[in-house]
């Protein structure tokens, strides 16, 4: 059980790295896209919506990485609770 938790902690760490990298990539691409749209004289009132639509794939990857991270964290919490219950005999 303890080895399983250690493996899950390592997995959670990898998911955390993927999540923050995906967030960084999304923000970089979003800012680049906004600047490109400004250079193309797209009306300011729609730039944010157009930019987000143009980089929807990066947002999807970011959101997926976030879900993987949170799911892994929840799994680890469940394993810790299970181990605690075994140790305390409840």
Mean pLDDT across 14-38: 97
What band does 1 get if pLDDT is binned at 50, 70 and 90?
low
Residue 75 pLDDT greater than 70, yes or no: yes
The pTM (predicted TM-score) of the whole model is 0.81
Looking at residue 88, its pLDDT comes to 82
SS3 38: helix
State the burial class of residue 51 (Cβ atoms within 10 Å of its Cβ: 0-12, 13-18, 19+).
Answer: buried
Residue 42 pLDDT greater than 70, yes or no: yes
* Average predicted confidence (pLDDT) for the chain: 92
Mean pLDDT across 5-10: 84
């Amino acid at each position: 059980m303890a080895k399983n938790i250690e493996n899950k902690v390592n997995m959670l760490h990898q998911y955390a790295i993927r999540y923050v990298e995906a967030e960084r990539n999304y923000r970089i691409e979003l800012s680049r896209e906004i600047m490109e749209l400004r250079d193309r004289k797209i009306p300011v009132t729609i730039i944010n919506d157009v930019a987000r639509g143009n980089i929807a794939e990066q947002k999807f990857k970011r959101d997926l990485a976030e879900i993987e991270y949170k799911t892994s964290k929840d799994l680890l919490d469940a394993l810790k609770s299970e181990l605690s219950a075994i140790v305390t005999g409840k």
